[in-house]
Each structure stands twice: as structure tokens, then as C-alpha cells.
Amino acid sequence: MAEKDDAGDPEFDLTFQPAYGQAVPVAEGVERLTVNNPSPFTFHGTNSYIVGGSSVAVIDPGPEDEAHFQALMAALKGREVTHIFVSHTHRDHSPLTRRLKTETGALTVAEGPHRAARPLFAGEVNPFAESADSDFVPDIAIGDGETIAGDGWSLSAIHTPGHTANHSAFALDGSGLLFSADHVMAWATTIVAPPDGSMADFMASVEKLLARDDRMFLPGHGGPVREPASFLRGLRAHRRMRERAVLERVRGGDRVIPDMVRAIYTRTDPRLHGAAALSVLAHLEDLVEKGQVTSDGPPSLAGTFFPA
């Protein structure tokens, strides 16, 4: 799930071809199937990945979608599915896990059930509550850095909270490939929407991935990130630029989030202004925590903000 804007963007790649219903080889022992669920938040759709040969793991089965389920089952025909990895519990990534588990008997693997990055404040409504797959509970709650191996493959969990509190990327050991899900995508920056998401957590996860030496990211939407280190540096610069823009609006007299969104997101699709407001709130939460901004109570979409 992503936001698309124009503030110091990294070098985005929009050339992705979804090839709905087809298992597309993307690396040795890795195939991608894309769900036909395009939207301003999902680009051309959600990517599911099959890892392995005769015995495989599936990463992010996707939403409850009959055509995609049939495409997955066709691609998996004659192969054993031992594990289903779930990067995070948004409804465009995890719901089909239940049906695939029933069909294959595979074990499900994830950081944990859905949860918010922080508790709701009094009177606060979670704007993305309906996007959460709150029914999903993994068979295996995989810890940060823990590894699960199959026949010819080994996947290690890299906890990357920020987009959601339970977000994980998965490294295909020995390949230089990282399944980055919604944390890093080639086509846009990811949405960080409180209370599900946290900007401080997101930035810490960016630094965590920068400390690695992966050669390519395979994300949850769109095509691969082929130069992860430079893309991550651009993503970090973009977020820092956005933080400065929010801080400058507050110091310049803007007191409420809608005014900041109108001033900052001048060329953004108006359909994404709601998501942009949540991104601004995420930055404001972080700025309040850093002591650079104050608010009339806990930071919220309806709050009033002042320079510290």
C-alpha cells in the first residue's frame, strides 16, 4: 500500500507489467503472480511469490480473489507447499492465506497477528481498521533474524515495522534477494498511517535495511528494486525532506493537517489526500516525540499543532 507524491522522490520505476494469472520467473527459484486488484494504493496489484522447486513456500497469497486463487493453484500443481509466509496483515496481502492453507496443509509464518503501532487515543478512530486482516494468526510467529528452511530454500525474517507494526521482509538466504513487501517498493513510497503505522519505526527499518547488502528487492506491489542501497538512501532523503516541509508549515503558521496537506501535496491525486493527511500525522507524531512540535493533546488528524 503506497502513497505517490512529488517531494524529492527517489527514482521510481513505473514500467511494471502485471501478467495477471501467470507465474512469471523473476529470479532463480522464484516466481511472481500478481493479483488483478489495481488501485491508487496497490499500483497494478498485489504480488504473490512462489519460492523453491518441487517443494515450495508462498509469500503473501493476497486478498480473497477467486481468479488469483485458481492461478496460484495452477502454478503450484504437482508441487508441495510447506509454508506460507505473510509479510503483514493488510487485506490485500493475507486473507487468501486461509484458503491456501486449507488446500495445501502448509504452515503459516508471520511476525504475529495484526496490531497497531500504538494504542488509540480517547475518541480516536483507526482510519485503516477495515484494511486490517484481524482474523489472521500465524502457526509460526517468526522472530527477527529467525530462519525457516525448506527443500532447496531458506528464508530469514527481517522485522521492518513502520507501514504496520507486524511488517516483515523475508531474505532468501544465499541469493541477495529480499522480499520487501510494502516497506520498500520501486513505484512509490509506502503509506505510514497512525495508529497502525509509525514514522519513527519506518525510518529505523530503512536504516536496518541500509545496513544490509541485498542485491535486489522484490516488493509487494510493482517491479523489483534493482539498486536497493541507492533507492533506500533516496527514500530516506525523501522522508527527511517531507519532515522538514511539515515542520516549516507549522513554523510558518499552519495549525491543522488539512492546511498542511493542501500546501505540501500540490500535485498529488486528490483521491490520495486522505492518505497524505495520515502521512503528515505520522511525521507530526515523530516531531512531537522529538520535541520540535507541540499539540493540543495527543497528536491526531483533528489536532492543532504549534512550534515547540
Cα–Cα–Cα angle for 16, 186, 167, rounded to 5 degrees? 120
What pLDDT does 40 receive?
Answer: 87
Answer whether 108's CB lies under 8 Å from 139's CB. Answer: yes
What is d(CA 31, CA 123) in angstroms, rounded to the nearest whole number?
45
Give the pLDDT means over successive 10-residue stretches in the chain (308 positions).
Answer: 56 94 97 96 96 97 98 98 98 98 98 94 83 96 98 97 98 98 96 94 98 98 97 96 97 97 89 89 97 95 95
What pLDDT does 120 receive?
Answer: 87
What is d(CA 195, CA 128) in angstroms, rounded to the nearest whole number?
9
What pLDDT does 128 receive?
Answer: 80
What pLDDT does 2 receive?
Answer: 53
Measured from the Cβ of residue 224, the count of other Cβ atoms closer than 10 Å reads 20
Answer whether 50's CB lies under 8 Å from 56's CB. Answer: yes
Residue type (1 letter), 222:
G
What is d(CA 141, CA 121) in angstroms, rounded to the nearest whole number?
28
* 188's grid cell: 512509490
Cis peptide upstream of residue 195 (ω within 30 degrees of 0) = yes
Cα–Cα–Cα angle for 194, 195, 198, rounded to 5 degrees? 55
Pairing of strands 55-59, 147-149: unpaired
H or E segment and range at residue 60 = none
* 77's grid cell: 500443481
What is d(CA 191, CA 261) in angstroms, rounded to the nearest whole number?
14
Can you give the pTM of this predicted structure?
Answer: 0.94
Long-range contacts for 152-156 (Cβ within 8 Å, ≥24 apart)?
152/29, 152/52, 152/53, 152/55, 153/29, 153/51, 153/52, 153/56, 153/57, 155/51, 155/57, 155/59, 155/83, 155/85, 155/179
Roughly what angle, to the nearest 10 degrees, separates helices 228-251 and 199-210? 150
What is d(CA 50, CA 106) in angstroms, rounded to the nearest whole number?
13
What pLDDT does 129 receive?
Answer: 84
Answer whether 96's CB lies under 8 Å from 68's CB. Answer: yes
What pLDDT does 3 receive?
Answer: 57
